[in-house]
Structure 1
């Protein structure tokens, strides 16, 4: 599903209001929301809170529609009715009931609350007079449906502006916005339903995707009756030091589970011995130096390479990473293979292209993009992708995937349980396994990998460790394929 910014939504509205008056669309929004509210809940009693702007006008239209259908409606305005103007005033004048201006009025137990106080444009902290109202609504056990946005949530960041209403459902007008799925916005919005009101989009591409299988499933590499291990692709993983050998083994396990034909771990003799015991399904090649790595590239046709999990921070890893980026078509960099470029980001950027995938967490991101602020992670990830000309996977609760051509995808099916050691190693293995000439392009592979990783973790629940993610990959694949 597409997700847009507040700025884009304002442009869409402005362009449409030139052809049809804005009140026409306010009526469509109110009517559409009233229908959706009745689908969600068959309650006969409604309490609608209307704010000072057009969101309040939407509330008046909703009230009018519900009254006409025979429902009992109370409307409380958070501002004096003499303050309304424009479309909101037109909507107010259609009502034939008394508007209550006392925000301290009792909330009855059997009333469904409709939040029409503030919309998507809120970008200031909530005033004290609303603080107590929001607390009362949140403390009540009444079901809450927010129109466009839960009041108090920033439309772009999803952050509460000090205080916000927690909704059970949110009716997003025209499209989801970033604030519905980012940060705390996802929790505050509850279940989001989109209400279309006939707005035409004449704005050039300026949106993101919410990560889901419909984006990439058709491109997902499925096993065919004619498939064999060589047609399924080969992934080579650099194993690093024996003390951190578990990281590369986790990557190898997850890659093979997702369906790559073979996984080869490159490492010293101790790692090879350990991998032989823990994960005999993987192939192993002894590689203890840069010179050996260079010879391996001459001997084998390697087109897909993962380096970083447990690799170590030293000159050998720096040299191997640089050489691999030069010689191998598809490369995924994770962990240490990113951190070795701290204070040398320009050297890294010269070696990158659209076939390379970088999977940093916040700290690693700052090491290679020190001048990009993470205050707005969506903009930061997109800018980093364009600067580096590569796919960026900025890991976090809302992992963001960005491509140099401007495509951006936000992952929303995550779980806090993924904050555990080894989780990132599993993710890099999943992503790497999906990339290839006859498989997925790096951007779609990254989107698919992030979603699968999150879904497998969610399926397990509490007490998750990295190995549990791998165990749950097959059930998730069975569900979607």
Structure 2
């Protein structure tokens, strides 16, 4: 499923109108009919107040008001704006609403505004074209709508959400349900915009399939291919050999979590290269892992003296994960920087591996093998030091970048972007990133391509949080690992349903 920004959506509308000869009035009518189907299913007994602006979003609302009125619904319209500035399609629906006698208040004052808690509010106020802070006039109306106690159904996007950045422009409607037209917008899908949608629906509004299929957009939902079936005749070396370089004083758990996650994600063989002082205790955390003891600095971190050993070890594995728990000790940072350009297999950098990389993009951009980085927000900021505003991390560092956070994004240096739909705030717990890094390393090794492996790992990582049966406050990184077998099985057995329902995050409406 493609995800568009407002400019792309306008171009898609224009292409539909001019190339495929579908009139704009029909598209507006279809948008209203699809919204009607949601109202009939979800709010069949409600009277309806439609709050409409002066753009085509308001036109969709006026068309919906006309259709609801024809079904003898109790309908009222609050219209804000100057009818002299309406588009042709919005003007036609405005005139129809007036002629057939639907109660309409044009630019009502505060005393005339009435939002009753037992009446459905349809938000058709601002739409996807908002590119500035919500005016004081509209802000007051949105505040009253939000505090009315009434259910709110937004058309295309909750009013006040920026369709590109997903950020509220000062204030936003908090909808109970939203229907997007044509295709979901970035503002519907990214954080924090998706929180304001409530339940999300989508209608193609009769866009021809070739228009959707062949659209050159580079952003889509993260719904990768099915998991590759394991070879029934395979053995441990058939299922991915993973080298994890990590650990340091006070951070023994990080590489252990990554190793456990690697095994639970399907790795056949995991080597943990850790400081000598940690080696004896490591097997208690992950007895399956092979331990490579490393020489230490005086601060009990990994010494530069291990460079040759680690490069030789890396060449005997399919993927290397470097960074969990390595600390910012000066000599260890120097080692990381030496190893990054020389590791002769795909490389995953996380945690202190990212901190060592920050400010030195040439270390990864000139690598012969693919690199994946998995920064959280703080690490993203550090990695951006020295970059221009229009440069992305994936472009400048020449990597696949997993921007971790609510609705994580997986971005390639060619501009392709996958928005992840799984996960919740339970993942905000120590060690969660170490687990993800171990999953990424394994699925890179076992799936059909690096990008597919990364996408599957991020999806499954989020799914573990959604399937956790307890309170989110109780969720730990170890719970992610424990849930992986069930989530892998669910993804295998229910793949087609999960794909068709967009992982339960969006419903398609005819």
State TM-score, norm by structure 1. 0.90
Trace 1:44-63 onto structure 2 (pairs within 5 A): 44-63=46-65
Q: Whole-Å Cα distance in 1 between the matches of residues 148 and 476 of structure 2?
A: 37
Decide whether the 8 Å contact of 1:349 with 1:389 is kept in 2: yes
Q: Give me the CA root mean square deviation.
A: 2.3
Question: In the aligned structure 2, how far is the partner of 1:30 from the partner of 1:479?
Answer: 37
Contact 2:218 2:415 in 1 (8 A): no
Map of 1:340 onto structure 2:
356
CA contact (8 A) 2:182 2:203 kept: yes
Give the stretch that moved more between structures: 140-149 or 363-372.
363-372
Structure 2 CA distance for partners of 1:434 and 1:325, relative to 1, 3 Å: farther
Structure 1 equivalent of residue 489 of structure 2: 478
Aligned 8 A contact 2:275 2:293 in 1: yes
Q: Deviations over 1:249-299 (max 9, x none)?
A: 110011111111121101232221011222211111122255545245446
User: Displacement, 1:136?
Assistant: 1.8
C-alpha distance in structure 2 between counterparts of 1:232 and 1:321, whole Å: 29
From 91, 94, 103, the counterpart of 1:92 = 94
Q: Is the 8 A contact 2:364 2:371 kept in 1?
A: no
- Structure 2 Cα separation of the partners of residues 39 and 179 of structure 1: 25
Does the 8 Å contact 1:48/1:74 carry over to 2? Answer: yes
Residues 321 and 459 of structure 1: CA distance in aligned 2, closer, same or farther (over 3 Å) = farther
CA contact (8 A) 1:352 1:390 kept: no
Give the structure 2 partner of residue 245 of structure 1: 252
Distance 1:210 1:373, change over 3 A: farther
Q: Are 1:123 and 2:123 an aligned pair?
A: no
Inter-CA distance 475–356: structure 2 relative to 1 (3 Å threshold): same
Out of 282, 287, 294, the residue aligned to residue 289 of structure 2 is: 282
Q: How does 1:267-416 map to 2 (within 5 A)?
A: 267-288=274-295, 289-295=303-309, 297-298=311-312, 301-313=316-328, 314-320=330-336, 322-323=338-339, 325-351=341-367, 353=369, 355-372=370-387, 383-416=392-425
Gaps of 5+ in 1: none
Shift of 1:326: 2.3
For 1:11, the equivalent position in structure 2 comes to: 11
Query: 1:5 and 1:231 mapped to 2: Cα distance?
Result: 42
Tell me the residue number matched to 2:434: 425
Name the CA distance, whole Å, in 2 between partners of 1:296 and 1:348.
18
Could you tell me which of 455, 459, 462 is aligned with 2:473? 462
Partner of 2:237: 230
Taking structure 1 as reference, are residues 208 and 30 closer, same or farther at Cα in structure 2, changes over 3 Å only? same
Deviations 1:303-334 (A, max 9, x none): 21100001233334533554354242211011
| Contact preservation (8 Å) 1:75, 1:99 | yes
Match of 2:505 in 1: none
Looking at structure 2, the residues matched to 328 and 85 of structure 1 have their Cα atoms a distance apart, in angstroms, of 59
1:11-40 deviation digits (Å, cap 9, x = unpaired): 112223323442232222222222232223
SS at match of 1:216: coil
Q: Write the distance in 2 (CA, Å) between the matches of 1:347 and 1:295.
A: 20
SS at match of 1:13: helix
Report if aligned partners of 2:359, 2:384 keep a CA contact under 8 Å in 1: no
Q: Is the 8 A contact 1:341 1:367 kept in 2?
A: no
The corresponding residue for 2:262 is 255
Q: Distance in 2 between matches of 1:44 and 1:301?
A: 66
Alignment size in residue pairs: 469
1:210 corresponds to which residue?
A: 221
What CA deviation, in whole Å up to 9, does each residue of 1:164-214 have, x standing for no partner?
111111110100000002222111111111111233538752231222xxx
Match for residue 28 of structure 1 among 30, 51, 68: 30
**How far apart in 2 are the matches of 1:83 and 1:453?**
49
Gaps of 5+ in 2: 296-302, 493-510
Secondary structure of the corresponding residue to residue 50 of structure 2: strand
- Cα contact 1:221–1:440 (8 A) shared by 2: yes
- TM, length-normalised to structure 2: 0.86
What SS does the corresponding residue of 1:401 show, helix, strand or coil? Answer: strand
Contact preservation (8 Å) 1:255, 1:430: yes
Question: Is this contact kept in 2: 1:322–1:348, CA < 8 A?
Answer: no
Does structure 2 conserve the Cα–Cα contact (< 8 Å) formed by 1:43 and 1:111?
Answer: no
Indicate conservation of the 8 Å contact 2:340/2:363, yes or no.
no
Contact 1:303 / 1:328 at 8 angstroms: preserved in 2?
Answer: no
* Residue 452 (structure 2) aligned to one of 413, 423, 444: 444
Q: CA deviation at 1:431?
A: 0.7
Residues 415 and 372 of structure 1: is their aligned pair in 2 closer, same or farther, counting only changes over 3 Å? farther
Query: Contact between 1:109 and 1:141, CA under 8 Å: does it hold in 2?
Result: yes
2:207 aligned to 199, 202, 205, which one?
199
Cα distance in 2 for residues equivalent to 1:82 and 1:405: 45
Give the secondary-structure state (helix, strand or coil) at the position aligned to 1:392: strand
Decide whether the 8 Å contact of 1:239 with 1:271 is kept in 2. Answer: no
Cα–Cα, structure 1 residues 244 and 440, in superposed 2: closer, same or farther, change >3 Å? farther
Distance 1:317 1:303, change over 3 A: farther
Q: Which residue does 1:2 correspond to in 2?
A: 2
